[in-house]
Structure 1
Amino acid sequence: MTTLYHCPDARSFRCLWLLEEMQHPYELQQMAFPPRTSAPDYLKINPTGSVPFLQDESITLSESGAILEYLATRYPSAGLAVAQGHPAHGPWLNWLHFGEASLTTPLATMLRYQYFEPAERRQPAVVADFREFFLNRLALVDAALQGHDYLVDDRFTAADVSVGYALMLSKMLGLHEAFPPAVLGYWNRLRERDGYKAAKAAQRVTA
């Protein structure tokens, strides 16, 4: 059995979205954010108190990028990985982790210093700096999409889930107004996918 510990629209949404795209059976354990305070018993399972946390038989993982890579390669029949030896394998790995390291990290910093910190600790200059950082990295996504519907191998893969989550998060921050046309079209394709819609519905049902 595959079990995903999740908070609505947190980084664990990446994993939920991929599971729905795979049509892989799973159990969803949904908690309020932040789980380290809303569900203290969760610390016995995952001492970091963060999400995602995935249990797949005897395997446990707690990093969203690692979970995407694990699921896509562990269950290749879903067709969401690019196999080793394929010319697009390296670019696939790069985009898979780019979504977290280069796109989501600056957004998380923006969220912290714009909304989550007490008023006296909020940092508008930090928010502005990381907004610029995000948009600079987004230009690389725009370049990769010129003439293509998806990032790798001209098909939808787990890399699109990784980057797509960052676009979802950036929309919550109002940054979608700065999306270049190719990125906006890409985001619209992603959010119309059945897997994305099913993941959104799953977290609403569980709430």
Structure 2
Amino acid sequence: MDDKPKLYTCARSRGLRATWAAEEAGIDLDLKILPFPPRHAAPEYLDINPLGTVPLLVDGDSRLSESCAIAHYLATRNGYTDLAIAPGETDYAEYCDFTYHADATITFPQTVYMRFAIFEKEKGLEPAGQAYARWFHKRLVKIEQRLETRDYLCADRFTVADICIAYALVLAQTVGLDEGVPHSLKVYRERMTARDAYRRAFEREEAGRKALEAAD
């Protein structure tokens, strides 16, 4: 593939998983930072992604719109790397499970909380949002127990599963859900976000966001 993969995202959104994975894998992305929410703030984006959601990765004829799938794809785009676990390797099943768990079970209630308790609070939906906040906190037990005896989720090394789970913990801190996050997971988050690749990814997205704001 000669052209750079193109990632459409909003700074600090779930697309950070993809930007982070690309930095870890040494893949040079053509990063397109959009205003939030893109379906309203950048309606022309609907021509590229009819869902209007971010992230979206365009790589040749391939299009991916799920953040954890994009992170795994980037980690294996040029062959398996240490960021992914291949079939037959120790913890392959756990790698798959935690990578999918990150969005389907952990980030899902966070996004519903954000909609009801933050974005649409004036509609009287905050109690429903707080119910989803409690759901999120209860679902952290699986990760907490997994990390009781290990530094990383799978195969004693940093993988995409860590990227996907750690982002959910970063989001919790960002949107006011940190009070219910166990201390051990806050320590884990601090270790994961201290990685150079995370810092580069975050700073690159922030630079794109600031450039977008300056252009308005």
Q: TM-score, normalised by structure 1?
A: 0.94
Q: 2 CA distance for matches of 1:152 and 1:66?
A: 17
Higher mean C-alpha displacement, 28-37 vs 70-79: 70-79
Matched-pair contact (CA < 8 Å) for 1:61–1:67: yes
Q: Give, as a single letter, the amino acid of the residue that structure 2 aligns with 1:84.
A: P
Candidates 128, 148, 151, aligned match of 2:150: 148
Question: Structure 2-normalised TM-score?
Answer: 0.90
1:118-155 CA distance string (max 9 Å, x none): 50x23232122111111111011100001211111111
**Partners of 1:122 and 1:6 in 2: how far apart?**
30
Question: Which residue matches 2:136?
Answer: 134
Find the counterpart in structure 2 of residue 101 from structure 1: 104
The residue that corresponds to 1:122 in the other structure is: 124
In the other structure, the counterpart of 1:169 is 171
Q: Name the CA distance, whole Å, in 1 between partners of 2:124 and 2:23.
A: 36
Cα distance in 1, alignment partners of residues 82 and 186 from structure 2: 25
Show structure 1 runs of 4+ deviating over 6 A: none
8 Å CA contact 1:20, 1:199 repeated in 2: yes
Q: In the comparison of the two structures, how many residue pairs are matched?
A: 206
Shift of 1:66: 1.8
The answer as to whether partners of 1:6 and 1:30 remain within 8 angstroms in 2 is: yes
Letter matched to residue 132 of structure 1:
R
Q: Percent identity?
A: 35
**Quick one: distance in 1 between partners of 2:121 and 2:150?**
43
The yes-or-no answer on 1:72 pairing with 2:72 is no
Cα distance in structure 2, aligned partners of 1:100 and 1:122? 26
Q: Tell me if structure 2 keeps the 8 A contact 1:52–1:62.
A: yes
Contact 2:118 2:126 in 1 (8 A): no
How far is 1:181 from its partner?
2.9
**What root-mean-square deviation, in Å, do the aligned CA atoms of Structure 1 and Structure 2 show?**
1.4
Is the counterpart of residue 88 in structure 1 residue 110 in structure 2?
no
Shift of 1:158: 0.3
Partner of 1:54: 57
CA contact (8 A) 2:27 2:74 kept: no
Matched, 1:112 2:112: no
Residue aligned with 1:146, SS: helix
**AA partner of residue 44 (structure 1):** D
Task: Give CA-to-partner distance per residue, 1:7-33, whole Å, 9 cap, x none.
Answer: 011111111111111121110011111
Matched residue SS, 1:70: helix
Structure 1 stretches lacking a partner, 5+ long:
none
Give 1:4's match in structure 2, choosing from 2, 7, 12.
Answer: 7
